[in-house]
Structure 1
């Protein structure tokens, strides 16, 4: 009897260890303790702990079972610790897909080491069960192999408890970001950890990676606005609008398509309302284009005295006062993907890398290359980081970065100014040209020790009334400012400044800063669901008259906006964003499926809609827009998975 009791201690240790790790993790990360989420976490921890116990009790060797038990608890502790460190650095959680490419993340080992030291107490608590088992396990626990009868009883109990957990998931409602939505329909690690726990989130991630899972769409067709019949419009209206759309016979495609998933996509895109051409259509036709995704650029980096070129370009071009750069699951790479493709990234994978074999007819490189433009892309960090050596040539670029084609001084981070000075001569005298840049000077960590760019520019920020982290961040953005100043000078020297359009947006907000530092830079408390992602979008050419744009917009809208301005042939129905300068209804959507329109903003976390001043909306407005948002997420993932453009867009 005493032996059986000692044997049950190991089962209790596994279960209690997982529960304690989940609670410690929650306290160390977001400190949100939702009652239903805690209950679901508790239930699934019991089944997961029981499973680990079964794994550790198969061998006849007590020594092996003891070793395996310690290894399982240690591995679980490592998973929790690594997720916590990743969250502290990147403000999200890594997927198993990203973990397969951990070699690239290892380039941030200094940041990881610093963060680990800061969070050493939490990490110690994660490893405490494994340490206790290693030190005291022999005295307290019997590591004998358990009988098949006991094993059967445990498995039956696991099934019953797991079923109870599923009932709790079903009983939690089916709204966006509910436990049901996250368990069965969609992937959002930030909210899945809150509602389901770390272990269940990772288990679902493993299942989905193994099965090639895709988000599930449950949208009533009546909530998706159908496209009007263009022929009928022309017959009725004297001044019918002309739309940015291509000659795609969806009816013919539908009649011939046997693949039900692709046929469903044909039906969907046939129903999407295209954006009309407008007074800005072709305004910059034939212009050169320089398109920049700037690392961690934000409104806090724009100052008349400290960063005068950024200030000038933000305020003397198209001035977008309501522009957003939502953050996505793979931070920089997904931010690039959105800006360059006009598509929403698929959660759980590296969408840009996955698109490397796909046809991408609407990216700037491919659109302009076929018109005879010289198309170059540059990155002042590792050539293959995030596998850009696969994604960027597929966008039609002659791609160069550190390690292949671009020699830079070995610093961390590298200099945006140096990159501009070395690369502009390669194309500036070959018109028309298009250059794409992904910068790196604005990268964290934000300190004057370990960040070369911050140290290099510290003299420009010492008088600012900010903390050291705030000053260091601004110092990194000074390098971007100096790079843009030199870029404009070189364009002027080559005589092409007046016919070169410059577009610049951030990849994401500066998540390397603590919230209190962001509040400090903003001068007020920054609201976290919407305002945190507000950012400038530079769209500028020398000598233009400034244009104020108050319409809500986001990085998802860049590609359709540039395509319209440059007078390119594209199909606005096949992109997830909208031409900002058209009269199309605005829609800014976020990774958690919150949204902003001209009528108000919906916070999916709280489930509340705040109408714009003086605006009243119909009863089903939020439900209708949420259905459109769901559809955009779903079909953007399908475009990536099925290489849909290859089937539908004419060569």
Structure 2
């Protein structure tokens, strides 16, 4: 409870009046029936929202309903969530129970015209006051004003405007549209009058700077965030990229292609020839961004094979030297990312896969992975490697149409197989990761160079020993652990991933190519199906909600490599640019929302509720507070700057999806 609570209260007045009038314009019997219907409908809507949030940790958007059938196909998961939250469900039932008991004491006669007029005036006044209060908050990036008019962020909107208003706005935007032509980020002015709005590495113009003397993930003591003009037509300022140059890069004697991870995109020509204002804005935005520099790790894995795994509900709690020695050893002997985060996004679990596979932020309220199946996606690993002549395969050990992967994954450059279209494994719930590896490795190991992508499912909830086939299969290995049954079942499920990866490495070694094959493993999301008390139990302490809950493990390993410890904050959004740099692939770092973790680019970890972590601070958007981890005092201008940058990343990632922007700047076949 905070001062933000005033907004759902204010909007509830006008909503209540509308419902009252709707139940007072007909005869008594009809009015009474309508009142019961409205109360029942409110109960159902709020109950569905409650249960959906308890399962997926995000409000249900109307955009999401088209795919919610897949997400909620497992009835036992829904039933379990209802039983765990039965007290809250009963509380939501109270208004309907009171109505049933006391409805005879209320009058349902038709409302008199003078009464209706007076009530309607109150409705207009209360709504006007609500909007006026919203407009008074327009100074903040994540204010009620921004959430009401500019930015669709259900998690923040529910917190600051209320669930009812969020759903109304959701319906309004679904009907009238809300997307590529809106502007999420405002231009904020510093005390010195300088506008802010883009990430800019202060060292960008120093072409002579070498790589020596910098550990992985280090940058300026200032945090690596600089200032430049945002959305300005004046491109002559020294702290801004030269949009007039052919590549949008600063001019230097050395070719910018030798220094930066960029492609030959003539933003000047694109800008001059563009008539669409939205696309023109995108050209200007991307041409002014600072690309990441190539570094000592560029091309480290050039020519190697890549096996990339998105592991269902994988988390650090599943790792141990005793039970998962293979995964544990890989997490300590490859690149060791000590501050890696895996946020949960807005629509479904497939959003986590979308982030890891595309380097883009999902569009809030949209099944982004499925929608991307119609777009040109040049920076996915499948398409990048396919262009180089690699064998590219993708597998999922569940139904091939689940979340429309049969559309998205071939579009990412893969020959895709899952249950129902060529992957022949035993159909259980969940299916076995080990079986998937056993029946698929022969399809690519002999066809070098290759890139194989796996989306696993053995780690899926519910975590118990009576309805989860994988947990039952591996129960013997976890019975001795001093944990609750749900925690034991979770570990048992993840043992299947251990057995699968162990078998994978054995087959690579048998083929003599283990030292030529990179394995990258990250989760789609934290195990939200595991009760919070179980997460606390496995972690050994109470896990903090906004940041620590999403701290995860990114395994990036090749046999024989020396460990590289990386303390820099990073996230799944950074996987694609990091892998692209390590394999020496041609990509444009300006067109991805993450950055190469191993570069000197300033770190920025973004969460779905628009909280963030940089070198300097950790900002919690829900509480609107920041902790400055660099020891400096509170810097409100810095917070506004990063909020603006984060808003831009959400906005332009959405625009890339909506406009098929990659096909405009890097046309297919070109």
Q: Measure, in 1, the Cα distance between the counterparts of 2:368 and 2:139.
A: 27
Deviations 1:45-64 (A, max 9, x none): 2221222233334444x433
Q: Which residue of 2 aligns with 1:483?
A: 500
Aligned to 1:118: 84
Name the SS for the 2:454 alignment partner.
strand
Q: 1:238 to 1:213 in 2, by over 3 A?
A: closer
Question: What are the Cα deviations for residues 27-71 of structure 1, in whole angstroms up to 9, with x where unaligned?
Answer: xxxxxx22x3332222212221222233334444x4333323212
Deviations 1:146-170 (A, max 9, x none): 4555444333221111111122323
CA-to-aligned-CA distance 1:79-103 (integer Å, 9 cap, x gap): 1111111122222211111223332
Match of 2:164 in 1: 199
Alignment of 1:290 with 2:257, yes or no, is: no
SS of 2:552's partner is coil
2:344 and 2:550 in contact (8 A); partners too:
yes
- How many residues end up aligned between the 2 structures? 615
Q: How far, CA to CA, are the matches of 2:522 and 2:557 in structure 1?
A: 12
Residues 93 and 189, structure 1, Cα contact 8 Å, conserved in 2: yes
Contact 1:325/1:533 (8 A) holds in 2: yes
CA displacement, residues 323-355 of structure 1 (integer Å, 9 cap, x when unaligned): 111111124211111111101111111111121
Correspondence for 1:222 among 187, 196, 200: 196
Secondary structure at the counterpart of residue 406 of structure 1: coil
Superposed, which structure 2 residues align to 1:581-592 within 5 Å?
A: 581-592=598-609
Residues 599 and 617 in structure 1, CA contact (< 8 A), matched pair in contact too: no
Q: Please give the alpha-carbon distance, in whole angstroms, between the structure 1 residues aligned to 2:84 and 2:479.
A: 26
Q: Deviations over 1:207-262 (max 9, x none)?
A: 11222213622134533235545875524x89996111011111111111111111
What is the correspondence of 1:207-606 to structure 2 with a 5 Å cutoff? 207-214=172-179, 216-220=184-188, 222-224=196-198, 225=200, 228-229=241-242, 233-235=251-253, 242-606=259-623
1:64 equivalenced with 2:81 (yes/no): no
Q: Offset of 1:589 from its aligned partner?
A: 1.4
- Determine helix, strand or coil for the equivalent of 1:400: strand
Shift of the 401–148 alpha-carbon distance from structure 1 to 2, 3 Å rule, reads: farther
Decide whether aligned partners of structure 1 residues 280 and 159 sit closer, same or farther in structure 2, where only a CA change above 3 A counts: same
User: How far is the alpha carbon of 1:174 from its aligned partner?
Assistant: 3.8
Q: Distance in 1 between matches of 2:256 and 2:568?
A: 25
Task: Please give the root-mean-square deviation of Cα atoms over the aligned residues, in Å.
Answer: 2.2
Question: 1:152 and 1:100, CA in 2 relative to 1: closer, same or farther beyond 3 A?
Answer: farther
Give the SS at the match of 1:491: helix
Asked if the contact 2:71–2:348 (Cα under 8 Å) also holds between the matched residues in 1, the reply is: no
Asked if the contact 2:249–2:256 (Cα under 8 Å) also holds between the matched residues in 1, the reply is no
Cα distance 1:63–1:608, how it changes in 2: closer, same or farther (>3 A)?
A: closer
Instruction: Select which of 54, 57, 60 maps to 2:21.
Output: 54
CA distance in 1, matches of 2:298, 2:83: 54
Residues 365, 395 of structure 1: 8 Å contact kept: yes
| Residues 95-129 of structure 1, C-alpha deviations (whole Å, 9 max, x = no match) | 11122333223312111112222333332332333
Gaps of at least 5 residues in structure 2 are 189-194, 201-227, 229-239, 243-247
Q: Distance in 1 between matches of 2:126 and 2:563?
A: 63
Q: 1:239 to 1:217 in 2, by over 3 A?
A: closer
Classify 1:517/1:121 alpha carbon distance in 2 versus 1 (closer, same or farther; 3 Å): closer
* Separation of aligned partners in 2, 1:74 and 1:621: 47
Spell out, residue by residue over 1:589-608, the C-alpha distance to the aligned partner (whole angstroms, 9 max, x if none). Answer: 11222222223322333333
Quick one: distance in 2 between partners of 1:314 and 1:549? 12
Contact 1:340 1:364 in 2 (8 A): yes
Aligned partner of 1:25 in structure 2 is none
Q: Which residue of 1 aligns with 2:45?
A: 79
The 5 Å alignment of 1:152-191 reads 152-172=117-137, 174-191=139-156
Q: Which moved more, 1:118-127 or 1:382-391?
A: 118-127
Following TM superposition, by how much is the alpha carbon of 1:204 offset from its aligned partner in structure 2, in angstroms?
1.1
Contact 1:380 1:415 in 2 (8 A): yes
Residue 6 (structure 2) aligned to one of 14, 23, 39: 39
Q: Which residue of 2 aligns with 1:108?
A: 74
Alignment partners' CA distance in 2, 1:92 and 1:240: 41
Segment of structure 1 superposing worse, 120-129 or 579-588: 120-129
Higher mean C-alpha deviation, range 606-615 or range 406-415: 606-615
TM-superposed deviation, 1:491: 1.4
What CA distance in whole angstroms lies between the structure 1 residues aligned with 2:94 and 2:537? 37
CA contact (8 A) 1:89 1:115 kept: yes
SS in 2 for 1:585: coil
Aligned pair in 2 of structure 1 residues 253, 238: CA closer, same or farther (>3 Å)?
Answer: closer
Instruction: Name the CA shift for 1:238/1:166 in 2 (closer, same or farther; >3 Å).
Output: closer
Which whole-Å deviations, capped at 9, do the CAs of 1:375-424 have from their partners, x for residues lacking one? 11111112222221221121111212122222332321111111111111
CA contact (8 A) 1:81 1:126 kept: yes
TM-score, normalised via structure 1 length: 0.90
CA distance in 2: counterparts of 1:529 and 1:549, whole angstroms: 22
Which structure has more helix as a fraction of its residues? Answer: 1
- 2:55 corresponds to which residue? 89
Taking the aligned partners of 2:97 and 2:535, their CA distance within structure 1 comes to: 39
CA contact (8 A) 1:176 1:604 kept: no
State TM-score, norm by structure 2.
Answer: 0.87
